[in-house]
Amino acid sequence: MNNLKKLGLTALASSLVASTAFAGTVEVTGTAKVVYKSQSGSTSGTKSVQGNPWSDITDLSFTGSGDLENGMTVSYYQLISGGAFSSSSVTLDMGDVGMVGFGNGGATLGGIDTIRDKMPTAGEEVWDDQGTGDDAGVTDLGTDASLYYKGTFGGITASASYSRTGLGTDNSVALVASDLIEGAEFGVGTGTNVISATSEDDMTTVYAKYTTGPVTFGVQLSEIDKTAANSDIEREAAAISFAVNENLSISYGISNVQYESSSLVDAESTGLSASYTMGGMTIGAVANKTDSFAGSAGSDAEFTELSIAFAF
């Protein structure tokens, strides 16, 4: 009798394993990156690299998907960076109706975060990696766990995000059109980010990109209206990228941040990036600089970075 029970349980387990394998798949990919970075500046937010300027970045991405009996598809994603949890998401693709999902830890699936900086680049944004306050004027709602929706209708992709925090409700919407004019892409977004019990940021951004042959141009205007008087921020950005060939790309971008406060001056950022890809290997170079960092006259920040990354 015990043997019959064991046989029945074994058959049931085999059936479940076979059914699960048939219903979905799981894939693991990774990136290993070695970086040399030199950072300097005359601000409290940046400082010269002390000691060893070398570092490494290791990421593992887990993705899985499975089809439901009604034709919908469920997908899962999780990123492990440096051996620790970074972000995750679960989505339900409903076909022509669109997609709903839940993202955690910065896994952005919709809303204004998806178009916070759409300028073409061969490496990093011109404001990135320069210290605290370098992203002033960027329409970013943060990394709170959020619900998302995205759908494409008549050549326009509409998306939205919603999150509930202890301070209040963050929400945003974005519209992107990429099929109206050949080679052109347009986008607009708006959102609200609760900062405290008495203040919030109302964000808007609009951008346009155009690609002709190996060249892509882009411009973007962003605005953050803050609750406190005389504290609004506006950002103007432009960039151009050039694909020299199928392996090598270069880009140049500029960004100007204007502060409403009379005690702050405009912060101007420029950046040059290049990347060379050969199979699963990518060699990158970035040189970014900001004058009047965080709106402080006479404060500058800059960094250069060389990296080599392997994808597997």
pLDDT of residue 197: 87
pLDDT of residue 7: 38
Amino acid at 248: L
Give 172-182 pLDDT, tens digit per residue. 999 999 988 99
* Residue 146 forms part of a structural domain: yes
Expressed as residue numbers, the domain containing 293 is: 41-56+90-311
Q: Which residues pair with 91 in a beta bridge?
A: 75, 101
**Whole-number Å distance between alpha carbons of 74 and 92:** 5
Q: Quick one: which of 303, 219, 287 has its CA closest to 250?
A: 287
- Burial tier of 123 (Cβ tally within 10 Å: 0-12, 13-18, 19+): buried
* Residue 140 forms part of a structural domain: yes
Q: What is the DSSP letter of 204?
A: E
* Residue 36 forms part of a structural domain: no
Has residue 207 got a pLDDT over 90? yes
pLDDT of residue 8: 42
Q: What is the CATH number of the domain that holds 272?
A: 2.40.160.10
Percent of the chain with pLDDT over 70: 88
* Residue 141 forms part of a structural domain: yes
CB atoms within 10 A of CB 157: 18
* Residue 6 forms part of a structural domain: no
For residue 41, name the pLDDT band (cuts at 50, 70, 90): confident
Percent of the chain with pLDDT over 90: 75
Give 227-260 pLDDT, tens digit per residue. 999 999 999 999 999 999 999 999 999 999 999 9
Q: Quick one: which of 229, 274, 233 has its CA closest to 256?
A: 233
For residue 132, name the pLDDT band (cuts at 50, 70, 90): low
pLDDT of residue 142: 86
Q: Given the structure tokens 């205007």, which residue do they identify?
A: 221
pLDDT of residue 204: 98
Does the CA dihedral 257-258-260-262 come out positive or negative?
Answer: positive
Mean pLDDT of the chain: 89
* Residue 31 forms part of a structural domain: no
For residue 294, name the pLDDT band (cuts at 50, 70, 90): confident
For residue 88, name the pLDDT band (cuts at 50, 70, 90): very high
CB-based contacts of 307, cutoff 8 Å, min separation 6: 33, 34, 35, 36, 283, 284, 285
- Burial tier of 218 (Cβ tally within 10 Å: 0-12, 13-18, 19+): buried
* Residue 143 forms part of a structural domain: yes
Over range 116-121, report the average pLDDT. Answer: 97
For residue 1, name the pLDDT band (cuts at 50, 70, 90): very low
* Residue 29 forms part of a structural domain: no
Work out whether strand 73-81 and strand 169-177 pair parallel, antiparallel, or are unpaired: unpaired
Phi, psi of 52 (to 5 degrees): -80, 115
> What domain count does the chain have?
1
Q: With contact defined as beta carbons under 8 Å apart, do 105 and 81 qualify?
A: no
